[in-house]
Amino acid sequence: MSPYKSFETERLLLKPTSEEDAPFLLGLLNTPKWLQYIGDRNVKSVEDAQVYIRNRMTPQLERLGFSNYTIIRKSDGVKVGVCGLYDREGLEGIDIGFAFLPEHEGKGYAFEAASEIKRAGVEEFGIGQIRAITAKDNIASQKLLEKLGLRYSKMVQLPNDNEELMLYEITLQTN
């Protein structure tokens, strides 16, 4: 039993990503949209995916109690995507992000999962402001961020990255 919180929506389970999710993550990190909009993480094997989870996701989960969540469809147990809250280097505050396998896009899962993660950020983790970054040509991501209530703020550049990204923000009421 994990000491970290999992979440549930009408159709989805959101559980902290663990090394058992490596085969799924390997596929997701190599989809055309991930490579185009998020970037090549050089994850080319299940072992690479395990190392990626161990080095990039687990430390934040252990430090803050939240990180990346694997999204599982309740009806059949299929892993459809990821969503999470990230303490991203070079970006002040907490960043919300999401990605889905192509066959599970356009079904409302991203909004459902991201809404729950946003709620958890405020109510469970006391986060007062949530940010997001997206590529200028990632219109679907921009529309979802706006649907979640985030608004475009300015262009930003992350360390060691040449691409300018759109920064979205929302300030929320915490308890």
3-state secondary structure of 52: helix
What are the boundaries of each domain within the chain? 7-171
Q: Which residues pair with 133 in a beta bridge?
A: 167
pLDDT at 173: 72
C-alpha–C-alpha distance, residues 46 and 23, integer Å: 5
CB 39: neighbour CB atoms within 10 A? 12
Low-confidence ranges of the chain (pLDDT < 70): 1-2, 174-175
Q: Tokens 């060691």 identify what position?
A: 160
Q: For the domain 7-171, what is the CATH superfamily, name and number?
A: Gcn5-related N-acetyltransferase (GNAT) (3.40.630.30)
pTM to 2 decimal places: 0.94
Tell me whether residue 61 is exposed, middle or buried, using C-beta atoms within 10 angstroms of its C-beta: 0 to 12, 13 to 18, 19 or more.
buried
Least Cα distance to 175 among 111, 143, 127, 141 occurs for 127
Residue 58, CA distances (Å) to 15, 16, 50, 63 in order: 13, 9, 10, 9
Enter the tokens of residue 17: 């990503």
Identify the helix (H) or strand (E) that includes residue 113. helix 109-123
